[in-house]
Amino acid sequence: MDVKILEEHGHDSALLGLSLSYRQDPERMSDVARRLRFHGDGHNKFLESIVVWIDATAPRYFWQQFDTYRVGITKQSESTMHTMTARPLAQADFAHPIPEAHLGHLNRLIATADWEAVKRDLPESFLQRRIVCANYMALQRVVRQRASHRLAEWRTFIDAILDQAVHPEYLAENLHEEETT
């Protein structure tokens, strides 16, 4: 599984919006933002203005769970239908090794361009790349809901996001402030 933040924008604009409620300069809003970041009910809505683009390659079984998150997240992915018959598959196309006999079966189907049969027989560990556009509010929800999930890919995804985000202190309550400066 590979997760990389491509871009992140909107922090200054989010603090400007937050400053409107307090009639203060946006430069003074960092402390207010830290206090409000985990208060729901609209108090932390400034998080919706911080947008992150993520390039992630993960197995289909991960993406099935990830699709639970729809609000504040847009996804564009490799088309399985168009990409899986473009070339023979190899073990590197899967998160976990599949039986060689099954790989051979898939490659025979690919050789005949029978994409429906390939898609039907494709293991859930097949890796798919997506570009995900999310905001901090949605990512905070992912971190909160999936941090202790038993599927290891969630930990990998969350760790990568927290390691690469400009303001991880807005995403996870258990981060120490001194670690994020």
Instruction: State the Cα–Cα distance between residues 164 and 6, nearest whole angstrom.
Output: 10
Q: Does residue 36 share a domain with residue 14?
A: yes
Q: Does residue 50 share a domain with residue 21?
A: yes
Q: For residue 178, what pLDDT is reported?
A: 42
Q: For residue 71, what pLDDT is reported?
A: 86
Using the 8-state DSSP alphabet, how is residue 94 labeled?
B
Residues of the chain with pLDDT under 70: 175-181
pLDDT digit string, tens, across residues 143-175: 999 999 999 999 999 999 999 999 999 999 876
Number of domains in the chain: 2
Q: Does residue 116 share a domain with residue 152?
A: no
Find out whether 134 and 54 touch, Cβ atoms under 8 Å: yes
The encoded tokens of residue 91 equal 């073990």
Backbone angles phi, psi at 55, to 5 degrees: -105, 115
Instruction: State the Cα–Cα distance between residues 117 and 163, nearest whole angstrom.
Output: 40
Q: For residue 123, what pLDDT is reported?
A: 96
Q: Does residue 159 share a domain with residue 112?
A: no
Percent of the residues in the chain that have a pLDDT greater than 70, as a whole number: 96
DSSP 31-91: HHHHHHTT-TTTTTGGGGG-EEEEEEEEEHHHHHHHTT--TTEEEEE--HHHHTTSS---G
Q: For residue 72, what pLDDT is reported?
A: 86
Q: For residue 176, what pLDDT is reported?
A: 54
CATH number, residue 48: 3.30.1360.170
- The H or E element spanning position 22 is helix 11-22
Q: For residue 179, what pLDDT is reported?
A: 43
Instruction: State the Cα–Cα distance between residues 167 and 29, nearest whole angstrom.
Output: 14
Q: Does residue 119 share a domain with residue 34?
A: no
What is the per-residue burial (b if ≥16 Cβ within 10 Å, else e) of 24-34? eebeebeebbe
Q: For residue 85, what pLDDT is reported?
A: 78
**Which domain, by its residues, includes 176?**
2-60+69-76+128-180
Q: Does residue 144 share a domain with residue 113?
A: no
